[in-house]
């Protein structure tokens, strides 16, 4: 009897453990989990509102929309929704275009549809002949797919769907992931395993991952993917590889995703047998034209090329005395007749140039404004150095009105703690997008430059350097999924708030329970600032470990390039710290429009977060808090560590709210992050103290080791190099 009771108890415990919310979960499903709606009242309402699904039309894209709706609805509603071609029930969910669906055509949406363009959609509640319709309507099949994902998001986040009248269209045309993936499957600056692209088994083997990758991208409106590293390998342009590229393009096409490749500028020599890659040489031009035609024969909707040229040792037009426009235009001509584009990167700085690295891209590119072909976008990183934890916006934004400028954000956390750190990056992206360039007076935000509205460009784009690899959960850190999600959502609509995007992502990824959502959202919202504080507070930058960029390395000096050392950037000495970019220094501030230049150039007016980016500031300088600069630095570094501890507490309180697997994954990584935060704090304060010669304030935690100890740390085989 006792044994029976024990077994029963054991069974109950097991059942409880496996009940909703505690199931083991490896994170593979991202934000597309489609678990049954938790709120019972809402569930009933949804079940009533959708008793039939009608998707008319059978293109590949409509077919995947149909499948996605069916799978998702049966998961979310916990019951199969019958799917038919004719209305037989009372409350019908309809998806289609006026061309694919007579139902959609006759629902009187024609005028409103005009406003949403090629990729947009309407979500509309309406009644006709006594029936109730929830309509997902678009002008194109891909619009229907995007609308379907939006509709599902409403259910996943338990929104009211009883009276829908939503019109949505993307603000930016090309919303593209940049994979820095090599053909040997290593990923430059990748912290989530190896490349998704299994080149060896392509084209014969289509991994289910490719499909799930495409689904995830389409669900947030990403419509392009650059498959290969900007540090390019010409091999990908050879026939064998183009067949593999074609197989990926075929897999992605139904999801509205175009494939792009990086073009190695010296490819005509390396794989074409030519003696030169001079962009003005007719043979070189002919080679690229032929190569492009060949690519289009494999991939008829090939998107075009992304190019890193004359940057960090990569070949480019300057090797032949030509400029960036000469190079970009040659490639642009090669793809123009097929509708291709060239994304030419402005991430350039010269090995031989003694001038401030922050100024060099502007100096090289601004004079070229107006000389690029119509199908060229110049792709500019968010800041002028290189994806630092925080950078002021790049001065090129607003400075090239005749050229469409494409934003390049980094999703992979090269300088932001890499694979171990919880960093929600929406606030950082928004900080740049909302920055005012004053190019055409107040309100000339970076976002308006990028979405084309400031200078009336139709060709617009935004790129995110992907954080995706073959780790089971795609992004290494569970929370890094949020940056993939955010990138897509902001690329579609940069006016969304970081809070809203986080809210959606948490609900879709974990749970709608506000006891979890509210604190976790707060934690995410503060996460970027915490990292900035324990790594590079007050405008410090580029002081991380040599080459792998992991951990602190403010002492890095005497390397073959000054601008790859830390001392070049922080310039600490016994007087103070920071890079003087005002008139008395490099005068980089002058690259901004006057109102911005004035603000950044004035030590009393510069936002404190950029203080040491623009100024060399005495250790005893009083900052906003009333503290001296030295003390403020110490408090910031310590505050960053405290914030991570707070994140740990917040997370610990969530135990039981979600599955153990993801809970433990995040918990362990937060423990690692706390150790790394202390490492940053102690190493940086001890090092800067050798210049400031001032004590660390009494009430702050003391460094655990000596400076020599921190300087001796030399992590090996850091991923991603």
Of 590, 555, 594, the residue nearest 691 (C-alpha): 555
Of 272, 337, 339, 277, the residue nearest 307 (C-alpha): 277
Give the residue with the Cβ less far from ligand BDP, 312 or 522.
312
CB 137 within 8 A of CB 109: yes
Give the residue with the Cβ less far from ligand BDP, 118 or 547.
547
Give the residue with the Cβ less far from ligand BDP, 414 or 643.
414
Find the binder of ligand BDP among 68, 278, 386, 659 (CB under 6 A): 386
User: DSSP labels for 198-219?
Assistant: -TTTTTT---HHHHHHHHHHHH
124 DSSP β-pair partners: 135, 165
* β pairing state of 617-618 and 576-577: antiparallel
Give the residue with the Cβ less far from ligand BDP, 156 or 388.
388
Q: What is the DSSP secondary structure assignment for residue 455, as one 8-state letter?
A: T
d(CA 526, CA 508): 20
Q: What is the chain's Cα-based Rg?
A: 27
CB of 390 to ligand BDP, least distance (A): 15
- For residue 692, the tally of other CB atoms under 10 A from its CB is 24
CB of 308 to ligand BDP, least distance (A): 5
Half-sphere exposure of 500 (CA within 13 A, CB side): 10
CB of 384 to ligand BDP, least distance (A): 13
Q: Tell me if 188 contacts ligand BDP by CB under 6 A.
A: yes
Task: Determine the residue with CB nearest ligand BDP.
Answer: 386
Of residues 310-339, which lie at the interface with ligand BDP (CB under 6 A)? 312
Site string for ligand BDP, 46-75 (x = CB under 6 A): ------------------------------
Of residues 343-362, which lie at the interface with ligand BDP (CB under 6 A)? 347
CB of 340 to ligand BDP, least distance (A): 22
CB of 473 to ligand BDP, least distance (A): 23
CB of 641 to ligand BDP, least distance (A): 26
Give the residue with the Cβ less far from ligand BDP, 287 or 387.
387
CB of 383 to ligand BDP, least distance (A): 11
Give the residue with the Cβ less far from ligand BDP, 414 or 503.
414
CB of 549 to ligand BDP, least distance (A): 6
Helix 141-156 and helix 498-509, axial crossing angle in degrees, nearest 10: 80
* β pairing state of 376-381 and 341-345: parallel
Site string for ligand BDP, 396-415 (x = CB under 6 A): ------------------x-
Query: Where is 173: in which H helix or E strand?
Result: none
* β pairing state of 258-262 and 224-226: parallel
Q: Residue 137 is encoded by which pair of tokens? A: 């309507």
d(CA 53, CA 59): 17
* β pairing state of 617-618 and 405-410: unpaired
Give the residue with the Cβ less far from ligand BDP, 381 or 662.
381
- For residue 18, the tally of other CB atoms under 10 A from its CB is 11
d(CA 249, CA 242): 10
Give the residue with the Cβ less far from ligand BDP, 36 or 547.
547
Q: Tell me if 189 contacts ligand BDP by CB under 6 A.
A: yes
Q: In this structure, is the dihedral angle defined by the CA atoms of residues 281, 283, 287 and 289, taken in order, positive or negative? A: positive
d(CA 380, CA 330): 20
609 SS3 class:
helix
CB of 386 to ligand BDP, least distance (A): 5
Site string for ligand BDP, 225-254 (x = CB under 6 A): -----xx-----------------------
Give the residue with the Cβ less far from ligand BDP, 386 or 471.
386
d(CA 589, CA 582): 6
d(CA 682, CA 677): 9
Of residues 269-308, which lie at the interface with ligand BDP (CB under 6 A)? 308
Please tell me the total number of residues recorded for the chain in this structure.
721
CB of 652 to ligand BDP, least distance (A): 34
- Catalytic positions, please? 312, 386, 414
How many chain residues are in contact with ligand BDP, going by CB under 6 A? Answer: 10
User: Residues near 476 by Cβ (< 8 Å), separated by ≥ 6?
Assistant: 191, 192, 193, 419, 467, 469
Give the residue with the Cβ less far from ligand BDP, 322 or 542.
542
In the complex, the residues that contact ligand BDP under the rule CB under 6 A are: 188-189, 230-231, 308, 312, 347, 386-387, 414
């Amino acid at each position: 009897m006792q044994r029976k009771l024990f077994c029963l108890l054991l069974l109950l415990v097991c059942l409880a453990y496996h009940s909703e919310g505690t199931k083991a979960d490896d994170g593979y499903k991202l934000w597309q989990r489609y678990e049954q709606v938790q709120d019972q009242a809402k569930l009933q309402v949804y079940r009533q509102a959708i008793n039939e699904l009608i998707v008319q039309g059978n293109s590949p894209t409509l077919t995947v929309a149909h499948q996605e709706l069916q799978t998702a609805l049966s998961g979310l509603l916990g019951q199969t929704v019958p799917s038919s071609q004719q209305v037989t029930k009372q409350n019908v969910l309809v998806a289609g275009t006026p061309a694919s669906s007579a139902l959609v055509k006759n629902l009187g949406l024609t005028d409103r549809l005009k406003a949403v363009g090629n990729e947009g959609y309407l979500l509309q509640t309406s009644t006709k002949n006594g029936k109730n319709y929830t309509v997902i309507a678009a002008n194109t099949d891909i619009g229907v797919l995007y609308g379907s994902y939006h509709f599902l998001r409403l259910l996943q986040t338990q929104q009211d769907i009883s009276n829908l009248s939503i019109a949505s269209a993307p603000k930016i045309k090309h919303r593209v992931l940049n994979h820095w993936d090599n053909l040997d499957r290593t990923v430059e600056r990748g912290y989530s395993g190896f490349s998704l692209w299994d080149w060896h088994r392509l084209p014969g083997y289509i991994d289910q991952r490719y499909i799930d990758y495409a689904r995830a991208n389409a669900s947030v409106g990403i419509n392009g993917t650059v498959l290969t590293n900007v540090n390019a390998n010409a091999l990908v342009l050879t026939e064998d590889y183009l067949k593999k590229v074609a197989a990926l393009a075929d897999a992605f096409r139904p999801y509205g995703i175009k494939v792009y490749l990086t073009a190695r500028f010296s490819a005509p020599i390396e794989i074409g047998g030519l003696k030169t890659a001079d962009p003005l040489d007719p043979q070189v031009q002919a080679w690229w034209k032929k190569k492009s035609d060949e690519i289009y024969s494999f991939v008829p909707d090939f998107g075009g090329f992304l190019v890193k040229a004359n940057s960090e040792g990569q070949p480019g037009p300057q090797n032949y005395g030509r400029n960036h426009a000469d190079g970009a235009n040659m490639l642009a001509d090669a793809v123009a007749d097929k509708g291709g584009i060239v994304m030419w990167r402005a991430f350039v700085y010269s090995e031989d140039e003694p001038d401030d690295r922050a100024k060099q891209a502007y100096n090289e590119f601004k004079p070229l404004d107006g000389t690029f072909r119509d199908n060229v976008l110049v792709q500019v990183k968010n800041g002028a150095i290189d994806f630092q934890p925080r950078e002021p916006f790049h001065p090129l934004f607003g400075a090239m009105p005749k050229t469409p400028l494409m934003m390049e954000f980094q999703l992979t956390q090269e300088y932001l703690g890499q694979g171990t750190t919880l960093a929600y990056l929406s606030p950082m992206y928004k900080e740049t997008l909302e920055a005012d360039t004053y190019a055409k007076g107040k309100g000339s935000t970076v976002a308006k430059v990028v979405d084309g509205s400031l200078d009336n460009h139709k060709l617009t784009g935004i790129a995110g350097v992907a954080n995706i690899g073959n780790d089971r959960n795609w992004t290494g850190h569970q929370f890094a999924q949020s940056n993939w999600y955010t990138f897509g959502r902001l690329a579609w609509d940069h006016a969304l708030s970081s809070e809203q995007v986080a809210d959606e992502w948490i609900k879709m990824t974990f749970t709608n329970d506000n006891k979890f959502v509210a604190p976790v959202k707060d934690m995410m919202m503060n996460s970027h600032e915490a990292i900035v504080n324990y790594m590079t507070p007050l405008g410090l930058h580029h002081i991380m470990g040599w080459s792998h960029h992991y951990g602190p390395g403010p002492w890095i000096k005497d390397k073959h390039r000054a601008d790859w050392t830390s001392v070049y950037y922080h310039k600490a000495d016994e007087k103070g710290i920071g890079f003087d970019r005002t008139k008395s220094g490099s005068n980089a501030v002058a690259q901004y429009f006057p109102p911005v230049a004035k603000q950044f150039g004035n030590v009393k007016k510069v936002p404190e977060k950029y203080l040491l980016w623009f100024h060399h500031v005495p250790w005893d300088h009083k900052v906003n808090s009333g503290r001296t600069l030295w003390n403020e630095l110490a408090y910031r570094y310590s505050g960053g560590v405290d914030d991570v501890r707070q994140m740990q507490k917040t997370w610990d309180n969530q135990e039981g709210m979600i599955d153990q697997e993801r809970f433990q994954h995040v918990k362990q990584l937060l423990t690692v992050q706390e150790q790394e935060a202390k490492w940053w704090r102690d190493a940086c304060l001890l090092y800067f103290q050798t210049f400031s010669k001032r004590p660390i304030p009494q009430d702050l935690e003391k460094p655990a080791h000596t400076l020599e100890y921190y300087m001796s740390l030399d992590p090996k085989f850091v991923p991603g190099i």
